[in-house]
Structure 1
Amino acid sequence: MKFGKDFKKQMVPEWAEAYMDYNGLKRILGELREYKQSKQHPSVTSPRDFEQKSSLSGTLGGGRDVEDQVIDVNTLRRDGSKQFYMTKFLRQSEEGGELEVTFFTKLDEELNKVNTFYKGKFEEVKQEASLLNKQMDALVALRIKVKNRHQDSSSSGRRDCVDITMPLTRNTSAADTSGTCELPLIQQQCQIGEVEHMRQLIEFKHDNSREVFHTYDYNRDPLEVLEGVRIIHTLESPISTIKGVFKDSKEEHLSFDKDELRGVEERLRVAFIEFYHKLRLLKHYSFMNLSAFSKIMKKYEKFSSRRASRSYMQIVDNSDLGNSDEVTNLMGRVEATFIKIFSHSNRRKGMKLLRPKAKTEKHKVSFLSGFFSGCSIALLVAIVLRIQAQKLMDKKDGTQYMENIFPLYSLFGYIVLHLLMFSADIYFWRRYRINYPFIFGLKRGTELSYREVFLLSTGLALLALGGFLANIYLAMDLSGRHYKTLNQMIPLGLLILILVITFCPFNIIYRSSRFFFTWTLFRCICAPLYPETFPDFFLADQLTSQMQALRSFVLYICYYGLGESSRRQRKCHKHGVYNSLYFVIAVIPYWMRFLQCIRRLCEEKDLKHLCNGLKYLSTIVAVIIRTIYELHKGKTSWMVLALLSSAVATMMNTYWDIVVDWGLLQKQSKNRFLRDRLQVPHKSIYFAAMILDVILRLAWIQLVLEFRLPSLHKMTVTTIYACLEIIRRGMWSFFRLENEHLNNVGQYRAFKSVPLPFSYNDEDDDKED
C-alpha cells in the first residue's frame, strides 16, 4: 500500500484536518516534476545536474554541505511565545524556483499547523495528568481511611502488622520489635500487598520542568488529604436523579464505606483507560506526521534533484512534534500505575484493559452469512411455490389462515430488514471513515462489523422462514393436522427463543453487544430518569420506525391469550384490552423521545430540545388519530383530522430530518443547499436522500385515503408501508451519524468525556473567582 493511502487510513478521523496535507504537497511536487520534464529531455544530463553531482561528491569528500545552499529554515516567535517556522529557498532564480518556493511555503504552513495542534493537545494532557494526580492522592487516602475504619470496627486496641519497606518517618517503640503496633495506620501500615499497589504513580518532564504524579505521603493523616474533598454524583441512575431533584448540590461528603470506595475506583479506572488512549493517539499522531514529513522531503529530493531533507528534518525533529519521548515516558508510567493499582500487579490483565485487541474479521462469519443467505432464499422460494401449488390465496380458508399467521411472522421480517439496513449503514460508515464506535460509546474491540450484523439478520431470517414453511405444511397437509397444537406454538417458540438469546447472560452470540443493546433499551424505557446519551436517542428513534413490529408483540399476547384457533385477528380488534394496547404500544417510542427531549431541555436550557419535543408530541397526536380512524372506518371527520394531524407532523419531522439531524440546506454553504463538509464525495447522493425522505414520509397517505389497489390486500399494504419506514430510518441513520461525526471533527473531539469522582473546595473557589 502506498504511503498516501496508508497515511489517510491511519488518521484519527476526528483529527483529519489537523494532519499534514500530504496529498496537497504531492500535487505541488507533481507540478514541479512536470515542469522540469518539459524543460529538458530525460535522457540528456544537463550541466546543472552535472554540477550538482560534482558538488555532492565534494561534500561527501569533506566539503561544504550542499543542503546549506538550498534552504534556510528559521525559527521565529509570534506574539512573544508562539513558535513557528519559516523556510527561505535560496535558489529561487533558477528554473522552477517559484514552484519550489510554493512547496516550502506550504510545507511550513503544514509544519506550523501540526506542531501547534500537537502542542495544544499535549498541554491538555499535562493538565489532565495534574488533575488525575490529585484524584489519585484522594483515592489512596480514601483506601487507607476505609481500611482503617474497617480494622477499627473488627478489632480493638493492638493490631498485628508488618513493617513495610517504604521511606516513612516513623516513631519507633519497643512494641515495634515484637511484631505488634499501637501506631496509627498512616505511620505503620498493615497488609503490605495492598499498600504497595498504591505506591507506583506517574511522572513526566516537559520544558525542563518536572511535574509529578507523586506518591502519596503516608505521614499525613488521610483526613487532612480528604479535607474539602467531596464525591461528585453525575445522576447516573433513577435514584440519584430523584435525589438530585430534591437537593441543591450534586456533591456529597465522603462516607468512607466500601461501596463508595468501589465506585470511586471504577470511575478512576475508566478515566485512566481513556487517558491512556489519549496518549496512544497523540503518540501515533506524532509518528504519522513525522513519517509524512520524511516521505515528502524524500519525494522533493527525487523530483528536484536537490538535497534539502536532512536540514529540514532536523528542524522537524527538534520541534514539539518531534519530542514525543515525553508522551512515551508518560505512557510507561500510566501502564505501571494502572497495573499496580487497578489490576493487582497482573500485567496481562492490565494491558488487556489498556490496549484491547482490534477485532479481526473471521472467515467463518463470511461463510455462515453466505450459507444462511442461500438457505433463506431457498426457503423463500419453497414458501412461494407451496402457496402457489395449494392455491391458498384462492381459497377462503387459506386466505383466512394467511391473515392470521402472516402478522405473527411479519414481526421477524421487520427485525430482519432493520438489521440489514443497519448492516449497510455500518458498511458505509466504515467506507467513509465515520467513527461510529466512538459516537455510540462502544467498548473498543467489541463493536460489530457489517458482516456480523448481516450474519445475525440472515440467521434470524433462516429461523423465521423455516418456521413459516413448517406452519404452512402442518396446517394444510392432511397428515400434519394431527400436530395442530405444535403448529400453533411454532411462532411463539421462535419469539421466546429470540428473547432468550437476546437477554442470555452467557458469553455467546456477541454478549457485549447484546448487553449494550439491552442496557440502552432499559435507559430508554426509564427516560427521563437517566442522563441521556447519543445511543439512547438513536435507539429510541429506531423504535419509532418499528410501530408495526411493536403492535405484533401485542398481537402475540392476544392470539395466545384468547386460546382460540381461528379468526383471532378479528376477535382481537373486538377486544377492549387489545385495542387499548394497540394505541399505547404505538405511542411509547415517541413518548420516550419526548421525555428525553424534556430531560435535555432541563439540563442544557436549549430551546432546540423543546422544539424537538413538540415535534414528537405532534407525531403522537397524529398516530392516535390515525389509529382511531383505522378502527372506525367510514367516518369522514376522523379522516379529515387524520390528514391534518399527519400533514403537520410530516412537515415538522421532514424539516427536522433534513435541516437539524442531517445538517443540510444550510445558508451560505460552499456546497449549495448542503453543508460545508461532506463525507460522501457525490453531492447527488444528498439531494436524492432528501427527495426520498420526503416521499417515504408521505407513505402514510395510502393508509388514510386507501387508494384502490385491487391486486394488493390491506395487510400487504400495511406491511409495505412498515418496510418503507424501516428503509427510510436506515437511510436517516447514515446521514445522522455523518452529521454527528462532522460535529466531532469540527471540535476535534476524539475522546469521550469521563467524569471524575472527586471535587475540591479550592476548585469551587477558583470557579467563583
Structure 2
Amino acid sequence: MKFGKEFKKQKVSEWTEAYVDYNGLKHILHGIRSFRQNNPNLARASSKRLSLKNFNSSSLHESNIDNHDDIENQVIVVHTVHQENSRKLYNTRLIVSPTEGEGNERIFFKKLDDELNMTNNFYKDKVEEMIREAALLKKQMETLVALRIKVTNPSSHGLVSLKSVSTEINNLEPSKIIPPGKAEIFGQVDRKAGVEMSCRSQQQPGSSGVDLSFQERHSDSHPVVDVLHRNNSTNGEITDEYETSNLEILDRIKISNTYDSPMSTIRGVFTDTREKGLSYNKEELKEVEERLKIAFIEFYQKLCLLKHYSFMNMCAFSKILKKYDKITSRFVARSYMKIVDDSYIGSSDEVTNLMERVEAVFIKNFLNSNRQEGMKLLRPIRKIERHRITFCSGFFSGCTVALIVAVILLIEDRKLMQIKSATLYIEIIFPLYGFFTFTVLHMLVYAANMYFWRRYKINYPFIFGFRQGTELGYREVFLLSSVLGVMALATFLVHMHIKMDSETQHYETYIELLPLGLIIVVLAITFCPFNFMYRSSRFYLIKCVFRCVCAPLYKVTLPDFFLADQLTSQVQAIRNFEYYICFYGGRQLTRRLKRCSNNEVYNVFYFVLAVVPYWFRFLQCVRRLFEERDSVHGYNGLRYFTTIVAVVIRTAFEFRKKIAWKVLALLSSAVAAIANTYWDIVVDWGLLQRRSKNLFLRDKLIVPHKNVYFVAMVLDILLRFAWLQLVLILDVHSLHGKTVSTIFSCLEILRRGLWNFFRLENEHLNNVGKFRAFKSVPLPFTYYEDKDDNDGNERDEKDE
C-alpha cells in the first residue's frame, strides 16, 4: 500500500484537519514535475549536478561532506522565529539561481513550513493538556492511597508515618493499599535509550516502508512534566519529602456524584447536591478505585493517540521531502528533516515519559504488579477481521434467499392465498413471525449503516463508546441477521408445511409451539452469561435497553437516546411481542386461534406499548433539560409529546372508525410529521443552514456527492408522511390483512436507517470541529478549601 493511502487510513478521524496536508504537498510536487518535463535543459542540468554530487560523496570523507559539500550545494535556509509563548515558527527560503527558481518550489516550502508550524502548535497544545490532566490524576491517586490507608486503618488520623504502618501494610493485600512512597505515583521509570514506545492499539501493520530513523531521538523533558516525578532514592529508601502521608487531605475532599444509578439520581433530587461526603467503607473505596481505573485507561489511550499523531506526521514529512529530492535532485531532505527533528513534534518525549509512568502506576496500584494483565487493559488488541465471518455470512445469506423462495413456492403450490381458512390462519400467526421480520430488517439496516460509516471514516466506535477490540463490525451484524433470518424462515416453512399437510394433522398441538420455542431460544442466547456469541456486545445492548427503560433515573448518553430512537421505529415489532403473550395465554388451541382484538386487556396494552418508546425519549429529554439547562432539549421533549398524542389518537381511530377520530388523527399526525421532519433535517442532520457555503446544506460534508443529501431529505419527508396512510386507510385489493401496515412499518425502519447515517455524520463533524477524540471521564474526588479555616486565617492576619 502506498504511503498516501496508509497515511489517510491511519489518521485519527477527529484530527484530520490537524495532520500534514500530504495530498496538497503531492499536488504541488506534480506541478514541479510537469514544469521540469516541459524544460528538459533544466532537467539535464539537475542530472549533471546529481552525478557530480554522487561522485563527490563517494570520494570524500563523511566529515568533509557535512562541512564543505553541503554548504556549497545549500539550497534552503530555514529561519526560526521565537515567539513570546516559547513557541517557534519556521520560515524556509529557497536559494537557487533565477533560472531555476520555479514558483511551485517556493510555494511548496511555504506550505511545508505552514504544515510544520501547524502540527507543532497542535501537538504542543495537546501535550500541555495531557500534562495538566496528569497533574490532576497524580493528585487523585495520592488521595486514593490516603483513602486506602484510612479504610484499612480507621484509627489513623493526621500525619501518619509510613514506617509506623509498614507492618499493617504487609498484612494487607498489595492491591488494596500501597504506601505513597512505595506506590511509584507517576514515579520516574528508567527509560531505554533509543527505544520508541509503540501503541499497538493505534498503529497497524503495513507501514514498514516508512523511514523510522527519526524515532531514535531524545531531548530534555518539559519542565511541567516534573510534576509527575516522584523523587525516589536510589537504594529503595523513602525520601524525606514523601516519608509521611497527609491523611488530612481526606477532610478537604468529597466524592463526585455522577448520578449514574437510580438511587444516586433520587438522592440528588432531594439533596440537591452533586457531591457527597466520605463514609470510609470498602464499598466506597471499591467504587472510587473503579472510576479512577477507568480514568487511567482513558488517559493512556489519549497518550497513544498523541504518540501515533506525532509518528504519522513525522513519516509524512520524511516521505514528502524524499519525493521532492527525487523530482528536483536538490538534496534538501536531510537538512530540512534536521529542522523537523529539532522541532517540538520531533524532539519532545513528554508523551513517552507519561506513558511509561502511567504504565508503572496503573500496573502497581490496580493490577497488583501483574504487567501482562495491565497491558491488556491499557493496550487492547485491535480486532482482526477473520475470513470465516465472511464465509459464514455468505453461506447463511444464501440459505435465507433459498428459504424465501421455498416459502413462496409452498404458498403458490398449495394455493394458500386462495383458501379462506388458510388465509385466516396465516393472518393469525403472521404477527408471531412478523417480530423476526422487523428485527432482521433493522439489523440489516444497521449493518449497512456500519459499512458506510466505516467507508466514510465516521468514528462510530468512539461515538457509541464501544470498548476497543470488542466492537462488532458490519460483517458480524450481517452474520447475526442472516442466522436469525434462517432460523425464522426455517421455522415458518416447517410450520406451514406440517399445518397444511393432511397426513401430519395430529402434530397440530406441537406446531403452535414452534414460534414460542424460537423466541425462547433467541432470548436465551441474548441473556446467556457465557462467553460466546459476542457476549460483551450482547451485554452492552442489554445495558442500554435497561437504561432506556429506567429513564430518567440514569444519566442520558448518546447510545441511550440513539437506541430509544431505534425503538420508536419498532412499534409494530413491540406490539407483535405483546401478541405472543396474548396468543399463548390461552390454555387450549381453540382459544389461542381467536383474535386478540376481542381481549380488553390486550387492547389497553395495544395503546400503551405504542406510546412507550416515545415516552422513553420524552423522559430522556426532560432529564437532559434539567441537567444541562438547555432549552433545545425542552423543544425536543415537546416534539415527542406531540408524537405521543398523535399515536394515541391514531390508535383510537383504529378501534373506532368515526369521522371525528379520523379528523383528529389526521391533524395530530400531520403536526407530528412536520415537527419530526424539521427536527430530523435541521437539528439532527444539521442541514438547511442559512449561511452555508454549500447551498441548503452545511459547510462540512463527508459524502462527496451533494445530491445524496437532497435525495435523503426528500426521502425523509416522504417516509415521515407515509404513516398518514394508516389514518387514510388506502384500499389495496391485491394486499391482504395487515400487509399494508407491515409494508409501511418496514419503510419506517428503512427511514430510520437513513436517519442513522446522517445523524452520526453530524455528530462526528461536531467532534471533528472541536478536535474531540477523547472521552471525558469524571474524576472521583472533588477538592475544596475549608471556609472556616480560611476565615480564621483572615482574622488572624487582621489581628496581627
Normalising to structure 1: TM-score of the pair?
Answer: 0.92
Alignment of 1:429-440 (within 5 A): 429-440=453-464
Residue 651, structure 1, aligned to residue 656, structure 2? no
SS in 1 for 2:692: coil
SS in 2 for 1:446: coil
SS in 2 for 1:734: helix
Specify the code of the residue in structure 2 equivalent to 1:523.
Answer: R
Give, in angstroms, the shift of residue 218 of structure 1: 6.2
Give, in angstroms, the shift of residue 77 of structure 1: 2.5
Residue 695, structure 1, aligned to residue 718, structure 2? yes
Partner in structure 2 of residue 523 of structure 1 = 547
SS in 2 for 1:561: coil
Residue 747, structure 1, aligned to residue 770, structure 2? yes
Residue 70, structure 1, aligned to residue 75, structure 2? yes
Q: 2:538 aligns with which of 505, 514, 539?
A: 514
Give, in angstroms, the shift of residue 211 of structure 1: 2.3
Partner in structure 1 of residue 757 of structure 2 = 734
Alignment of 1:706-725 (within 5 A): 706-725=729-748
Partner in structure 2 of residue 498 of structure 1 = 522
Residue 451, structure 1, aligned to residue 435, structure 2? no
Q: 1:213 to 1:497 in 2, by over 3 A?
A: farther
Q: Deviations over 1:727-747 (max 9, x none)?
A: 110111011111111100011
Partner in structure 1 of residue 444 of structure 2 = 420
Moved more, 222-231 or 392-401: 222-231
Partner in structure 2 of residue 157 of structure 1 = none
Q: 1:145 aligns with which of 147, 150, 166?
A: 150
Partner in structure 1 of residue 30 of structure 2 = 30
Contact 1:203-1:211 at 8 Å conserved across structures = no
Q: 1:120 to 1:203 in 2, by over 3 A?
A: farther
Q: 1:404 to 1:80 in 2, by over 3 A?
A: closer
Give, in angstroms, the shift of residue 53 of structure 1: 4.0
Structure 2 Cα separation of the partners of residues 243 and 169 of structure 1? 38
Contact 2:119-2:345 at 8 Å conserved across structures = yes
Alignment of 1:115-154 (within 5 A): 115-149=120-154
Structure 1 Cα separation of the partners of residues 354 and 72 of structure 2? 36
Q: Deviations over 1:180-239 (max 9, x none)?
A: xxx556998644845558612325773356222537976435522323021111111000
Give, in angstroms, the shift of residue 460 of structure 1: 0.5
Q: 1:444 to 1:764 in 2, by over 3 A?
A: farther
Partner in structure 2 of residue 212 of structure 1 = 228
Partner in structure 1 of residue 193 of structure 2 = none
Partner in structure 1 of residue 212 of structure 2 = none
Q: 1:415 to 1:701 in 2, by over 3 A?
A: same
Q: 1:764 to 1:38 in 2, by over 3 A?
A: farther
Contact 1:144-1:222 at 8 Å conserved across structures = no
Structure 1 Cα separation of the partners of residues 677 and 650 of structure 2? 19
Structure 2 Cα separation of the partners of residues 495 and 213 of structure 1? 58
Partner in structure 1 of residue 513 of structure 2 = 489
Specify the code of the residue in structure 1 equivalent to 2:76.
Answer: I
Contact 1:186-1:220 at 8 Å conserved across structures = no
Structure 2 Cα separation of the partners of residues 534 and 742 of structure 1? 15
Q: Deviations over 1:372-411 (max 9, x none)?
A: 1122222211111111111111111101111111111010
Give, in angstroms, the shift of residue 596 of structure 1: 0.4
Q: 1:673 to 1:149 in 2, by over 3 A?
A: same
Give, in angstroms, the shift of residue 708 of structure 1: 2.4
Residue 106, structure 1, aligned to residue 111, structure 2? yes
Alignment of 1:256-267 (within 5 A): 256-267=280-291
Q: 1:570 to 1:642 in 2, by over 3 A?
A: farther
Q: 1:497 to 1:608 in 2, by over 3 A?
A: same
Moved more, 353-362 or 117-126: 353-362
Q: 1:370 to 1:249 in 2, by over 3 A?
A: same
Contact 1:471-1:487 at 8 Å conserved across structures = yes
Contact 2:582-2:602 at 8 Å conserved across structures = yes
Structure 2 Cα separation of the partners of residues 13 and 764 of structure 1? 46
Structure 2 Cα separation of the partners of residues 567 and 693 of structure 1? 42
Structure 1 Cα separation of the partners of residues 605 and 787 of structure 2? 51
Give, in angstroms, the shift of residue 326 of structure 1: 2.4
Partner in structure 2 of residue 179 of structure 1 = none
Structure 1 Cα separation of the partners of residues 456 and 784 of structure 2? 46
Alignment of 1:558-637 (within 5 A): 558-565=582-589, 571-633=595-657, 635-637=658-660
Alignment of 1:369-380 (within 5 A): 369-380=393-404
Give, in angstroms, the shift of residue 548 of structure 1: 0.4
Specify the code of the residue in structure 1 equivalent to 2:222.
Answer: D
Normalising to structure 2: TM-score of the pair?
Answer: 0.88
Give, in angstroms, the shift of residue 93 of structure 1: 2.2
Structure 2 Cα separation of the partners of residues 474 and 315 of structure 1? 80
Residue correspondences, number? 736
Specify the code of the residue in structure 1 equivalent to 2:604.
Answer: S
Specify the code of the residue in structure 1 equivalent to 2:572.
Answer: Q
Q: 1:144 to 1:641 in 2, by over 3 A?
A: same
Specify the code of the residue in structure 2 equivalent to 1:121.
Answer: K
Moved more, 495-504 or 220-229: 220-229
Contact 2:221-2:348 at 8 Å conserved across structures = no
Alignment of 1:241-280 (within 5 A): 241-280=265-304
Partner in structure 2 of residue 320 of structure 1 = 344
Contact 2:161-2:245 at 8 Å conserved across structures = no
Structure 2 Cα separation of the partners of residues 569 and 640 of structure 1? 34
- Could you list the runs of 5+ residues in structure 1 that have no partner in the other structure? 153-166, 171-182
Partner in structure 2 of residue 180 of structure 1 = none
Cα RMSD between the aligned structures? 2.3
Give, in angstroms, the shift of residue 362 of structure 1: 1.7
Q: 1:36 to 1:203 in 2, by over 3 A?
A: farther
Specify the code of the residue in structure 2 equivalent to 1:73.
Answer: V
Partner in structure 2 of residue 549 of structure 1 = 573
Contact 2:221-2:349 at 8 Å conserved across structures = no
Structure 2 Cα separation of the partners of residues 721 and 564 of structure 1? 33
Give, in angstroms, the shift of residue 64 of structure 1: 3.5
Q: 1:200 aligns with which of 170, 177, 184?
A: 184
